[in-house]
Structure 1
């Protein structure tokens, strides 16, 4: 077996994460953070934009802890790629974020939407011609910690429950606001809509279809959507509805029953909602026996329903159910925040600082998503199975963690990739379009 002689160069700068060049270029040319960050006045110390560039670079590498910045303080490539003039220490980064979290969060939110607009992203539509806007809460496990805002979540563990909004079939993130773990999903939801809907309008002129789960089945939400001219599709919360009464209502309406198997039948009942043209669609399932043929003493009736502003001419009952089923895709986007970006456990003990970390994550998420859509779906991309989008982990594996050599010659910085680098063509295409 051949063994290798190990050597460490004293002059060459070789990096394992060449994709930072795209992240830094996107941040510095497609957002105005370098200008807006100056509104947070500091008499001395490291500039706000250098703090932003440093932590965003870490987030895009899947590193959320502040201590990871110590590895980059003397990394010439990291500083050159992100445009950093002065690198902070981990203690200074944490301290400044604790001080300025509330002032930085709106700047990052605006920069994220600004990036998506300047990047001329494509926003996928549904069969109805609507652009989906999926809003949902997801739990983040921060058990065995005393962080501010950590509480018992609906998943049965202590943590946070942020609410995220995704636009289009690609899953562009318009916001991910941190919330205490025990906060109900519908609490302050109208304020979330006030922030998210203008961002969606800024990115697309197509009609929107807001899709929500049953936690948001409330008359106030439906009235809000009607007042703002936005279509909605919400999972119905049956609460204390009587199943037998709905079965009788279906019989009285002359509904057609589908016998799924012996002892089980189901039908759909549709009726007006709130005295408007909106609809409530209820799927009534009656079981007189189990799957093995064991008869019940009384029939079991289960209800599943959806409220929607989509007319029957645009979407029949089957289409409405399929559209809501597609809402579950947003669960994949949640997992990318928690696993790919390593944000299951947030790094700070302060709630506002962790909320700022989520704002950084939204911007990093959108940059990585854009890189995947631009570079990893073409014929010259590294060999992967065909897909409509690439998850963030794939983008990080194929583009972010590309080894290259930093060369400085004639006041010009160059990146030299390996002869057999499989992602070079894709990388050069996305960097050239940034």
Structure 2
């Protein structure tokens, strides 16, 4: 898709431009950008946590978060071997501080973070503190074989403005002299290589606009009101951890969190062509949701809570009675602590990137924040539903087992999101 094609609808041009990247794509975005100026930032007024987004984004009438519409992930490898130099730290600090100055910390400006992988920390002789759980990524089901992202770090850019994420990226690459009128004093690419670039979008209307992709039927079944390709809302406030809950509380990385980013290919032909709406509700939420007619349309009527907690204990009886179980129902079994608090904070968004090719493929980028990577791994294994295949032969490892029949993990990486004071090439044991 050519982002410069004047015949394309506006939001399709913007999404295509973000996916394409580069100077011409930025030019296309600027030509179509809102006339409203982008608010500039104050590097001294940013929150101490890089993952502090909740107070700075839109929310619906129920208090559910509405993530920034346009997002870019830049996976980077720092130059050289061993511990990064003082010059690397200085240049990275100038590059990131430049973004802080250029854009307000909000969905109207730019939200961004840098997170570091286990491979990065292996550059040092020291080990991470005991309370930082950051293992290398591993396969989390018997039926997946993902490529593991082991680059040093990932930079996440997010904004409601396509021109903002593109301009910020170009500034990091050194291809813009200014960002939002602020001079660019240093560029990321002087000290690191961008190994992989991935893009995405989220929000009502965007998935429907971009459903012309492999993995989605030609009938264009994605509802206009849906923020995601599978046709339902997600990330209800009552089913998400809080930012405080996922934050590491003590030690040199107090104020940090861990981040898993998975990329899942979606094959939704059978989801839409073979399953009825009630069957989709059953497999996305639970059989109880379908029996009680709890979900209307894309699920906006659920308000701030999907109500999944009341169906967790029914899962084995549901398996026997309905020969199916729900995705949310399975995952929730491991996504609550002893006090009933939700453990994971999910910030997923859609994509039509096919990493490494020009083909458009329906996929999902799935960033998850949690205090410990182990928490994510426990929830993912519960989502597998392997134990439920023993309850009835109708439930197999992928069939009638939530949404596993329709999603395929292609990539996964584990990262630590340091607090802002340690965001530039931290050592494993930074000073408090």
User: Which of the pair is proportionally richer in helix?
Assistant: 1
TM range, smaller chain: under 0.3
TM-score by length of structure 2 reads: 0.27
TM-score by length of structure 1 reads: 0.27
Of structures 1 and 2, the larger Rg is shown by: 1
